[in-house]
Amino acid sequence: MKSRLFSRFVTVVVANLALFTAVQIYAQNSQPVTVNVDPSSSTFTIPDDYLGLSFETAAILPDSSGKYTYFRADNAPLIALFKTIGIKSLRIGGNTSDRPGVTIPNTKDIDQVFAFAHAAGAKVIYTLRLRDSGPEQAVPIAKYLVDHYKSDIECIAIGNEPNIYEKQYPKYRDDIQRYLAALTAPGVAPALKLCGPSTTSERDSVWSSNFAKDFGPSGRVVWITQHSYPGGNGKIALDVDATRDKLLSSAFEQNYQQLYETFAPSVLAAGLSYRIEETNSFYNGGAKDVSNTAASALWGLDYLFWWAAHQSQGINFHTGDNVAAGEQQTPCWYATFWTKPQGYEIHPIAYAIKAFDVASHGKLVAAKFADDQPEMNVYAVLRSDKSLYVTLINKSHGASAHPAAMKLELPAGYSHAETMSLTSPGNDIGATAGMKLGGSSISESGEWHGAWSKAKIVSHSATFELPPASVLIVKLTTGK
C-alpha cells in the first residue's frame, strides 16, 4: 500500500515538474508581442453618452405593493452603480413596450424614471407603443414627456422591433407618418426628436436604411437605432463550453461586420448617425453559464470598442432581473446586475462597461500589433489632456493558453506608464463571480475602488505580461 502511494506521489511530482518546465521553456522562448500606437491618427470621438443600459417598459411599473423596483430618486445603490460604471443613457423599451397585456406607464411612472435618471446623470430614450395602438394613445404621453422632460430626453422611439408585427416596411413607414403628424401638431410636441426603427438582426436591418431615407430629411432624427444579439437564441445554447468559445471567437465578430454593412454605410453617407440601442450576447434572456460569466466581460469590452471603431454613437446593453422573450418573461442571464435585498449583485458584463469607462472618453487612435494576434485585440484612446489609454484584450483561454509577454512602444513625448487589469478567479472564463478591475470588485452598493500600478519602462517601451482571459489597460502620460 505504501509503495503504491509513493508511486502515485512520484507520478504527481514528475507531472508537475514537467508542466512547470514546459511553462518556463515557453516563457523563455516566446518573443514579446509588440504593440504600436499612433496618437496623431485620431479618428472617431467617443460620445460622452456612449455607455447605456436598456430596460423593459414593464420595469418602470410599480409592483403589486406599489413599489418601484429600479427607478426612483431614492434608489441610492442603483444611482451609485450608474455613476460608477459610467452609464449616461437609459433606454426604456423592449418587447413589453409593445405588449398589449402590459399597462402603458402613466405620468407617475414616468416621473419616477426621470427623477432617477436626473439623479444618476443619465438621459432617456423612451419608447411609445405602436403595436395594437395608435396616435390617440401616444399624444398625451408624448406631450407630457416634452412638456416636463424635454432636456432629459435623448429621443423618442415609436414601437419596438416593429418588423416582427408590422411585417412590411411600407406599413410601418405609413404608421410612423401618422404618429408624427399627430405628435408634432401645434400644442402637442412640435419639438419631438425621433429615433428608430429599432429593428432586429441583419435580416430586417434594411429598414434602418429606409428609415434614414424617409425620415432623416425631417431634421427630427437623432439616431438611426438598431438592435443586435449576435449569438442568436440563448435558449438553444446547451453546450456551454462550446458557446463560450463561440462568444470569444472571430466568427462572432463577423456577425457585427455583416450587420454593420447592411445599414451603417448608407446611414453615415446620408449625414446621419446610428446607435445600437438594444443589444446583448444572445436573445431570449441570454445563455445560462455563458452570458453571466467572465467570457461575457471579455466579449462585452471588445464589443463596445468594435462598434465605437465603426462610428456607433453608443451601445445600450439590455438588462433586468427578467426580460421579455416573445410574449413571455424569462430570467435574464445577460443582466448587468440582479436585484438583492440591500443592493445589487454585480455581473461580469458590468466590468466590461466599467473598463470601457476607464479607458475611453476621448478619440480613438490607431493601435496595432506588430504581428498578427488572432486571439487578442488592441484599442487606443487619446484624451484631451494628451493622456493615452491602450486597452489589450486577451481572449485566449483553456489549458493550452499561456501568458503573453507584451512590449508597448511609447510614442514620442510619453515617458510614464501605469496599468490596470481586468481578471476573473484563476483566469476562468466560466467564472460567474469574483471579477476584479484594478484589484477591486464593484460592491452591492455600486462602489468601486480600483487602482493603477506602475509599469516597467525598458528602452522607451512599457513591458508587462498579459495572462489568458484577461484585459490590461495601459495609461501613458508625458509626465509633465
Residue-wise pLDDT for 350-374, tens only, equals 999 999 999 999 999 999 999 999 9
Over the stretch 270-309, which tens digit does the pLDDT of each residue have? 999 999 999 999 999 999 999 999 999 999 999 999 999 9
pLDDT, position 20: 37
Q: What is the pLDDT of residue 26?
A: 38
Cα three-residue angle 82-138-178, rounded to 5 degrees: 120
Q: What is the pLDDT of residue 330?
A: 83
pLDDT of 458 reads 87
pLDDT tops 90 at residue 222: yes
Per-residue pLDDT reduced to its tens digit, 318-359: 999 988 776 777 889 999 999 998 899 999 999 999 999 999
CA 277 centroid distance within chain: 10
Q: What confidence tens digit (pLDDT) does each residue in 37-77 have?
A: 999 998 899 999 999 999 999 999 999 999 999 999 999 99
pTM (2 d.p.): 0.92
Give residue 346's pLDDT: 98
Alpha-carbon distance of 322 to 336, in angstroms, equals 11
How many CB atoms lie under 10 A from the CB of residue 478?
A: 14
Q: What mean pLDDT comes out for the span 137-165? A: 96
Please tell me the predicted confidence (pLDDT) of residue 184.
Answer: 96
Q: Mind giving me the DSSP string for 170-238?
A: HHHHHHHHHHHHHHTSTTS-TT--EEEEEE-TGGGTHHHHHHHHHHGGGT-EEEEEEEE-TT-BGGG--
CATH 3.20.20.80 fits 51-359, yes or no: yes
Q: Render pLDDT for 160-206 as a digit per residue (tens, 0 to 9).
A: 999 999 999 999 999 999 999 999 999 999 999 999 999 987 666 78
Q: In 10 A of CB 395, how many CB atoms? A: 25
Q: What is the DSSP string of 62-80?
A: --TTS--SS-STT-HHHHH
How do the domains of the chain map onto residue ranges?
Answer: 30-43+362-477, 51-359
Please provide the average confidence, as pLDDT, over all residues in the chain. Answer: 92
pLDDT digits (tens, 9 = 90+) for 409-419: 999 999 999 99
- Asked if the model's pLDDT at residue 469 lies above 50, the reply is yes
Query: Residue 145: which residues within 8 A CB-CB, separation 6 or more?
Result: 110, 126, 153, 156, 189
Fold of 30-43+362-477: Immunoglobulin-like (2.60.40)
Q: How many helices (H) and strands (E) does the chain have?
A: 10, 23
| C-alpha cell recorded at residue 356 | 470601457
pLDDT of residue 5: 39
